[in-house]
Structure 1
Amino acid sequence: MTSTVRTRNRTSDADADADAAPRLPGAWRLGLIRGALEIKQFFRLREQVIFTFAFPIVFLFLFASIFGDDMANTGSTASQYYVASMIAAGIMSTSFQSLGISIAIERDDKVLRRLRGTPMPPAAYFLGKIWLVLVTGILETAALLAFGTTLYDVQLPSGISGWLTLGWLFVLGITGCALLGIAISSVPKSAKSATSVVVLPFLVLQFISGVYILIDTVPGWMLNIGSLFPLKWLCQGLRGVFLPEAAAALEPAGSWEYGRIALVLGAWCIGGLLLCLLTFRWKSRSDG
């Protein structure tokens, strides 16, 4: 009888200790904490910060200087045309390229393997990356617009509808590109090959999606390939935000096609998530 009472007392004490123990934060809160850590680490790398924010600004400066004030058939200036292209390229750079390379390096350095062995929910890791991409994407876009409006008189959206369009294009574009970046991070066999594997398709997509070349001069078969990916549609939507309505005649369909853009970018968000779930690996191939 005495031993039974003692056993019950020990069980009660263990239950009381379990109830008194603090609960671990949820995935959302841990994601915020992880995001703050990712952002802090990003800004500690001075060269990376300079390159990230300078990339679209330098290209806008080059194109505006080369093509001058007027661009045939656009009804606008070169700076006005290329600010849309550079925002799109910047969004994909801070999401697809950045995540594709950084996650591959973290996997090769066994950072992902160690994180997977902690009580942190896997979702918190990805939320941290999304917060990093969102903050850097917003800051990069803001810096580009400030540069364009200050030096090249780039005209910002005049009404609330233009800003709303810019907002949903930004959210859908950066989400789809970020998920695609997470998915492609599993392709490189090592950290050494990550840059080559990720940068090459990104560079090709910029040329066939109308980032560097006027959309009406890109060969049709290239545009068809570019249409399979989000960058082409993101560029098209942003041109609709920053260019006059007459410039829509340059587009293959003769209009901005906002409905179709939303469907394609939304499909990439869903498809990118499925790709991540099917292909993402926490360990490098050498670890088995």
Structure 2
Amino acid sequence: MSETTQAPEARAIGAVTQKQIPGLVSASLTRVRVELVAFFRDWQSMLFNMALPVMMMLVFGAVFNQKVPGTDVDYRLLFISGMIAVGVMSTTFQSLAISITLDREEGLIRRLAASPMPRGAYFIGITVKALVTTILEVIILMVLGMVLYHLPMPSDATRWFTLVWVVLLGVSSCSLAGIAYTALIPNARAAAGAATPPFLILQIISGVFFPLSMIPAALAYIGYAFPLLWMAKGLRFVFLPEFLASAEPGGTWDLGMVAIVLGVWTVVGAVLAAITFKWRGQRVK
């Protein structure tokens, strides 16, 4: 073979070898940027996922203006702690269940799976988006609670640390549950309708609006099986006076069980997501 025929071949081979398949880190960073830009540009989605807990806090804050029975503590402080947990679930479980279903049915996930991008980058991208939006949601709810209802900030390092790990475990457990839940959503039209009922029902039976002692035992037992109740319980420890632990079932904050339940949900959610996740929608070829 002559030099003239070898040169183009060598250049072509060199060009191919220079086109490296993107690594997981660089691909993940790209997906994180894409997910965040898309989320904040879609004001309707942002309003639905981030403003709903804020509006609920304002509406119910105007209703629950009594004192916790037997104390001088404003009942709204008990309620706001639970609403912060609702904010975490809104920006993770509900948001991801809807957005992933839309991505799947529009064929985006299928195209990403067929590209050189590592598949894990998609999950890292949506999880980091959930974490960022959750942090913003928690800050907004905390600031509004402090300004409007005199919500006290965590009083010591232990409570600040508890706030961090409860939110992080809440994000991981609810995000993975949301990813797994998409397997039950048949199409894009059903996304919001399928994701919203469990989100609302769990608020009612998890001690967000009412103390757990006021919830029928059968419903409370169901609430104990899911992350929202335990997030709310951990956040009540963060924001409420220590003596209010006596109002909790068993008379304790039970932070060890909070960590265990959220940790178990993280593991179970990861396993279910890995087993059930669908890369192709029903109408995607």
TM-score, normalised via structure 2 length: 0.92
Q: Secondary structure at the match of 1:186?
A: helix
How far residue 60 of structure 1 moved from its aligned partner, in angstroms, is 1.9
Q: Secondary structure at the match of 2:91?
A: helix
| 1:32 is the counterpart of 2:38 | no
Matching residue of 1:134: 131
Aligned to 2:51: 54
Cα shift at 1:15:
10
Which residue of the partner structure matches residue 170 of structure 1? 167
2:254 maps to which residue?
257
Q: Give the C-alpha shift of residue 276 in structure 1.
A: 0.4
| Separation in structure 1 between the aligned mates of residue 50 and residue 152 of structure 2, nearest angstrom | 20
1:67 aligns with 2:38: no
Letter in 2 for 1:168: W
Query: Residue by residue, what CA displacement relative to the aligned partner does 1:83-115 show, whole Å, maximum 9, x if unpaired?
Result: 211110010011000110111111111111111
Residues 117-158 of structure 1: CA deviation (Å, up to 9, x unaligned): 111111000111011101110001111111111122110101
The corresponding residue for 2:189 is: 192
Q: Is the 1:91–1:174 contact (alpha carbons within 8 Å) kept by the matching residues of 2?
A: yes
Q: Look up the match of 2:140.
A: 143
Q: 1:140 to 1:203 in 2, by over 3 A?
A: same
Show the counterpart of 2:243: 246
Tell me the SS of whatever aligns to 2:249: coil
Q: Is the CA contact (8 Å cut-off) linking 1:74 and 1:246 kept in structure 2? A: no
The percentage of aligned residue pairs carrying the same residue is 37
Q: Does 1:155 align with 2:152?
A: yes
Judge which range, 194-203 or 88-97, deviates more: 194-203
Equivalent residues of 2:50, 2:90 under 8 A apart: no
Task: Measure, in 2, the Cα distance between the counterparts of 1:20 and 1:61.
Answer: 58
Provide the rounded CA distance (Å) in 1 between the counterparts of 2:168 and 2:234. 12
Runs of 4+ off more than 4 Å: none
Aligned to 2:90: 93
Match of 1:267 in 2: 264
State the shift of 1:18 in Å.
Answer: 6.6
Contact 2:53 2:86 (C-alpha < 8 Å) held by counterparts: yes
Q: Against the structure 1 CA distance between its residues 22 and 91, is the aligned structure 2 distance closer, same or farther, given a 3 Å change threshold?
A: same
CA distance in 1 between partners of 2:26 and 2:80 (Å):
36
Counterparts of 2:88 and 2:244, CA distance in 1: 23
Higher mean alpha-carbon deviation, 19-28 vs 202-211, is at 19-28
Give the residue type in structure 1 aligned to 2:20: R
- Residue 128 of structure 1 aligns with an amino acid whose one-letter code is G
Please give the root-mean-square deviation of Cα atoms over the aligned residues, in Å.
Answer: 2.2
